[in-house]
Amino acid sequence: QGYYRWQDFSGDSIRLMLLDSRGVKSELTLPNSSVHFFNFNPSLWLADGFRSLSAKLKHGDLSQATVIGVFSPELATIGKDMVVYALDGRKGDGAILSKDKAVRGRGVEPLDYGSASGEDLLYQSSDSLSENGFKESALRVVSYFKVSNPSTTLWGDNSNTTLFIGTPSTSGSFGTDFPTSLFGNASIRGYAPELIVFSRMLTPDERRKVESYLAVKYGITLKGSYLDS
């Protein structure tokens, strides 16, 4: 039958770990029946039923970061906001990306990142696309940028960051207090074939190159040319 697991290409031997409802932690592995292929590239199915799905990222607290990923929400839940992923490094400086909003700690208004162009992962009746049009283009490249003030603590900050995939902020795993009433705080259901994390802000040209690479690899049409942006 065979099994699939997430593969780390950074050379840090990072594993995607599952903490299930019984409190058992193990590397996430899924059978062939849970794998979907986008343009001949495999993707693992992400759904609720786990308490936490996380990976320890080394070499920094990601106070500055660019995260670019490919996601395809479950078609039955395209109209429901859910947590896609979260970054938890420096205490109180975490971030959550939901299907509709980029969220920082309590006291900071969440950013509706798809309000201008409709290029988020949440379908709403006000979108420029019809519901069927959204479903046909549900596989999307989503980019997130994070910049925080430099640390002023005497002893420095955590040198590692935990990446949570689809983990609600109420799981008790986060070092940041999030305004949970302002976004959909449920686990995402869908596919996430690839996620690329940089410990700095990419330039617009660098970002576009990464987005274009992912778009070509997974057969996604980006808004605008791959070459002239």
pLDDT, tens digit (0-9, with 9 covering 90-100), for 120-179: 999 988 888 899 999 999 999 999 998 887 665 655 566 688 898 888 877 667 888 888
Grade residue 9 by pLDDT with cuts at 50, 70 and 90. confident
pLDDT at 224: 55
Average pLDDT, the chain: 85
More confident of the two residues 225 and 2: 2
Residue 155 lies in a domain: yes
Percentage with pLDDT > 70 across the chain: 87
- For residues 133, 136, 141, 146, the Cα torsion angle rounded to the nearest 10 degrees is 50
Lowest model confidence (mean pLDDT) among 157-161, 163-167, 180-184, 187-191:
157-161
Domain extent, residue 13, equals 3-218
Task: Look up residue 19 and give its amino acid.
Answer: L
Residue 229 has pLDDT above 50, yes or no: no
Residue 51 lies in a domain: yes
Count how many domains the chain has.
1
Q: Are 219 and 38 in contact (CB under 8 A)?
A: yes
Lookup: tokens for 47: 């759904």
Residue 226 lies in a domain: no
Residue 227 lies in a domain: no
CA distances from 95 to 10, 78, 171 (A): 22, 22, 15
Residue 225 lies in a domain: no
pLDDT at 67: 95
Residue 224 lies in a domain: no
Residue 54: which residues within 8 A CB-CB, separation 6 or more?
A: 16, 17, 19, 162, 163, 164, 165, 167, 173
CATH assignment of the domain containing 85: 2.60.120
Residue 48 lies in a domain: yes
Residue 136 lies in a domain: yes
Cα separation of 226 and 96, whole Å?
28
Residue 106 has pLDDT above 50, yes or no: yes
Cα separation of 44 and 35, whole Å?
5
pLDDT at 170: 72
Q: pLDDT tens digits, residue range 18-58?
A: 877 676 688 888 888 888 999 999 998 887 556 678 888 88
